[in-house]
C-alpha cells in the first residue's frame, strides 16, 4: 500500500473533511460569501456522518474560514481580515487602515446619561454621575465590522461640548490626547465570544446569532485615572487577533 494512503488512513476523518473543504475554499470552488450545501447533502457527498461533518465545520469556523449562522446555514467567510495584536492597545480606525482598507463610521450618535452602579465603578464615579455615551458602527471598505459603545465621564467635555461631535468622526483616543491633553497609558480588557442579539445584529446588518468577539475595556490615563469605558462587538470573520505570549522566565534554584 502506498505510504500516502497509509498516512491518509491514519488521519481522523474529520481532519480529512476539513482539509477537503479548506482546499475547495482556497481554489475558489467555494467563493467568499457563498452558502455551503445543507449538512445532510454535504455529508452524503463527502461520504461521512453528520457528526464527522460538524466536527470539521467547527474546526473551519474556529479558523475563521466559515461562518455558521443559526437557522441560515454555513457560509464561506470573507477572505480579507483586519489584523490586531491583543497585547497592544489599538484603535479600530488605525487597525482597519493598517490592513489597507478604508475606515468609515456609520450610525453615529452620542448622548448624556446617568452612570449605572457598575459603570460608575468602572470609571470611579459616583452612581448617577453624568457620562457621555458615544455609539458608532465602524466599517472596513464599507462593510460594518464593529459596533462600539464608549463611555466617558461627562465632566471631560462639560466645558467643550462640541468635542462630543468630534468623537463621532474621529478616534476617541485622538480627541482625548489632542483636544483634552489626556494620554492613555494602558487599558485593561476582557474578551469572550458571543452571539449577536437582535439589537446588535440590526446595527451590524447581520443575522441574529452570528458569532462575534466582544471586548470590554477600561482605559487609564498616565496618572492612573480611568477615563474611558468601552464595549465593542467585532465580527469574528473580519478580524484576526494575535497575542504575545511570554515564557515563564528564568527560575532561581
Question: Does the structure show a pLDDT above 90 at 182?
Answer: yes
Q: What is the pLDDT at residue 253?
A: 43
Better-predicted residue by pLDDT, 185 or 158: 158
**pLDDT mean over 13-23:** 89
What is the residue-averaged pLDDT of the chain?
A: 82
Joined together, the cell numbers standing for residue 35 give 452558502
Name the most confidently modeled range: 1-5, 57-61, 97-101: 57-61
Grade residue 73 by pLDDT with cuts at 50, 70 and 90. confident
Joined together, the cell numbers standing for residue 188 give 485593561
How many residues are there in the chain?
Answer: 253
Better-predicted residue by pLDDT, 65 or 80: 65
Question: Does the structure show a pLDDT above 80 at 211?
Answer: yes
Grade residue 85 by pLDDT with cuts at 50, 70 and 90. very low
- List, for residues 127-174, the tens digit of each pLDDT value: 999 999 999 998 888 888 889 999 999 999 999 999 999 999 888 988
- List, for residues 47-59, the tens digit of each pLDDT value: 999 989 988 988 8
- Please compute, for residue 8, the number of CA atoms within 13 A of its CA located in the half-sphere on the CB side: 9
**pLDDT mean over 173-181:** 92
**pLDDT mean over 39-49:** 92
- Domains in the chain, ordered, with CATH? 3-76 (1.10.10.10), 82-242 (3.40.1410.10)
**pLDDT mean over 213-221:** 90
pTM of the model: 0.61
Q: What is the pLDDT at residue 192?
A: 87
Grade residue 245 by pLDDT with cuts at 50, 70 and 90. very low
Q: What is the pLDDT at residue 3?
A: 46
Better-predicted residue by pLDDT, 40 or 65: 40
Better-predicted residue by pLDDT, 98 or 176: 176
Question: Does the structure show a pLDDT above 70 at 6?
Answer: no
Amino acid at each position: 500500500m502506498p505510504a500516502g494512503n497509509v498516512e491518509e488512513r491514519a488521519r481522523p476523518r474529520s481532519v480529512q473533511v476539513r482539509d477537503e473543504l479548506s482546499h475547495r475554499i482556497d481554489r475558489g470552488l467555494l467563493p467568499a460569501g457563498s452558502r455551503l450545501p445543507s449538512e445532510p447533502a454535504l455529508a452524503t457527498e463527502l461520504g461521512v456522518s453528520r457528526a464527522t461533518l460538524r466536527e470539521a465545520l467547527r474546526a473551519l469556523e474556529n479558523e475563521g474560514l466559515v461562518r455558521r449562522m443559526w437557522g441560515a446555514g454555513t457560509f464561506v467567510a470573507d477572505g480579507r481580515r483586519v489584523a490586531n495584536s491583543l497585547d497592544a492597545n489599538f484603535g479600530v480606525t488605525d487597525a482597519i487602515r493598517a490592513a489597507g482598507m478604508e475606515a468609515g463610521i456609520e450610525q453615529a450618535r452620542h448622548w448624556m446619561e446617568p452612570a449605572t452602579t457598575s459603570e460608575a465603578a468602572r470609571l470611579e464615579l459616583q452612581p448617577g454621575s453624568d457620562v457621555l455615551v458615544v455609539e458608532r458602527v465602524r466599517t472596513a471598505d464599507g462593510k460594518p465590522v464593529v459596533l462600539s459603545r464608549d463611555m466617558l465621564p461627562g465632566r471631560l467635555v462639560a466645558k467643550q461640548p462640541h468635542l462630543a461631535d468630534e468623537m463621532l468622526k474621529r478616534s476617541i483616543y485622538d480627541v482625548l490626547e489632542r483636544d483634552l491633553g489626556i494620554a492613555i497609558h494602558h487599558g485593561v480588557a476582557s474578551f469572550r465570544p458571543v452571539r449577536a442579539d437582535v439589537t446588535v445584529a440590526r446595527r451590524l446588518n447581520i443575522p441574529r446569532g452570528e458569532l462575534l468577539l466582544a471586548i470590554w475595556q477600561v482605559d487609564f490615563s498616565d496618572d492612573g485615572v480611568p477615563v474611558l469605558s468601552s464595549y465593542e462587538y467585532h465580527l469574528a470573520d473580519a478580524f484576526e487577533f494575535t497575542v504575545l505570549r511570554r515564557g515563564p522566565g528564568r527560575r532561581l534554584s
